[in-house]
Structure 1
């Protein structure tokens, strides 16, 4: 299962937003990967991997998982919603 998402977070996935994203990814029932459009996917629950992507506001990323069913959908939905926020707490 894959989903393309445009990152709306003002700071992109840097420092605090990246840490919160990784925490949210680690809490999901299915493992999720993230990639910049056309790039290689990395584990969404790895802070170092996520930071090396250099994702900024307006970038399109692809969230993916090899899982099936409700867990896969719930995991992708939760992380897509996170990325579509303009501000994170």
Structure 2
């Protein structure tokens, strides 16, 4: 299992549009991927789970993956969050 932390820097956090991009990207990997914030964890491949975590600007999240492509999955999703989903 691989886990990495990142701070959400989008002005509006991870709302519907970036969440859809995040979920679509996560779904392209075979590994089980989760996102955690403040002790709550959601499936990274579920739009409802991601939105229900309330990922706002400045919050710290942990992206974890376990499976055959876990390292690539976490690195790709971290880069996606770092890119602010192309919004800024």
Report if TM-score (shorter chain) is over 0.5: yes
Task: Mark the runs of 5 or more structure 1 residues left unpaired by the alignment.
Answer: none
Coordinate RMSD, CA, aligned: 1.6
Task: Mark the runs of 5 or more structure 2 residues left unpaired by the alignment.
Answer: none
Residue 74 of structure 1 aligns with which residue? 72
- Cα pair 1:4 1:61 within 8 Å, conserved: yes
SS at match of 2:61: strand
- Cα pair 2:34 2:42 within 8 Å, conserved: yes
> Per residue, is there more strand in 1 or in 2?
2
User: What is the CA–CA distance in structure 2 between the aligned matches of 1:87 and 1:67, rounded to whole Å?
Assistant: 25
Q: How many residues align?
A: 86
